[in-house]
Amino acid sequence: MSDFRVAPARLDGNGYRILEDASLAGRNTFRVDARAALLVDVRDTAALAEVFAFPLLARVPLLVLGEGSNLLLTRNVDGAVLTLSTRGIAIIAEPDGEAIVRAEAGENWNDLVHWTLGHGLAGLENLALIPGTVGAAPIQNIGAYGVELSEFVHAVEAWDRTAKAPVRFDAAACAFAYRDSLFKREPGRYLVTALQLRLTRTPALRLDYAGVREELAAMNVAQPTPGLVAEAISRLRRRKLPDPAVIGNAGSFFKNPIVDADAAAALKATHAGLPTWPLPDGRCKLSAAWLIEQAGFKGIRDGDAGIAAQHALVLVNHGGATGAQLWALAQRVQAGVTERFGVVLEAEPRIV
């Protein structure tokens, strides 16, 4: 850190802090004990120009880290890890029956969902209890229970490391796709700093995803509201997915694979129980959880690396697994599903 002309362990600046040889064990939900050569914590986006002006940061790889809930660290990070701990949520415009909500990247996603519900705004209820920060949400185009974030994005604000300036993208420019976006495809260039969402005051509830109506019925809800839907979704998620506070995991580890209609029909012909969902482009989405369970991997354990017993999509750390051991098990699952079904599973989190 000689570039910073300070004592070698730490630098405190106006709106940021830089640490050398920092532990990341408490900054990833797998609780993998990895370290970063440099950890840059930014508390004010106005400091980004100064931070990125340091010559050292221009020379080393940069990993942007939110709450570490969509990440598997298989090794120490030789370059720099940057976190945004910025805060702030506000309604910045109110077109007829709608509101544009702006949230800083460092806000917790689930806190934002409940803030919007508390202000009478609907749309995000099906995305309740997804772990992570607001800044990570558009990168992954998070989705759950029949809803994707891209449906509500008004704009994404970011820092462009190439142009060395703040930029703003409307929803179309973000190039959203299934668990994908412009920001994911160019991970070294854009740092998401804030998210603008267009939400409505007239709910159009989405209740058709498996289990949602049944959960509402179990709650004795006859007239659902966005808040009650969020509660039902949260109950479903808590029951199906292991809590990262109890056992290390990053939620769903594998994407549901998408295949062409002929391939889906061929698989259904030999595996009648395979859940499939037709897509508007004529292709079909398959259930990765079903494929993994049928291939015999649900609940398995290899040392402290395992697949959750309650949900086959979830890779878990039972205590002392390294990132490399977790990734080795994930690759074993991928190979087993390909061998059994001829389908290639992709990891949903970012693998470092």
Longest CA pairwise span in the chain (Å): 67
User: How is residue 150 written in tokens?
Assistant: 């891209």
- Cβ atoms 110, 128 nearer than 8 A: yes
* Contact assessment for residue 91 and residue 99, using Cβ atoms and an 8 Å cutoff: yes
User: Comparing C-alpha atoms, which of 42, 37, 43 is closest to residue 3?
Assistant: 37
Give the integer Cα–Cα distance in Å for 290 and 340.
12
Catalytic residues: 179, 252, 348
Closest CA to 279 of 252, 254, 261, 255: 261
Q: How many other CB atoms sit within 10 Å of the CB of residue 347?
A: 18
Contact predicate 317/304, CB 8 Å: yes
Burial of 227 (0-12, 13-18, 19+ CB in 10 A): middle
The count of other CB atoms within 10 Å of the CB of residue 202 is: 7
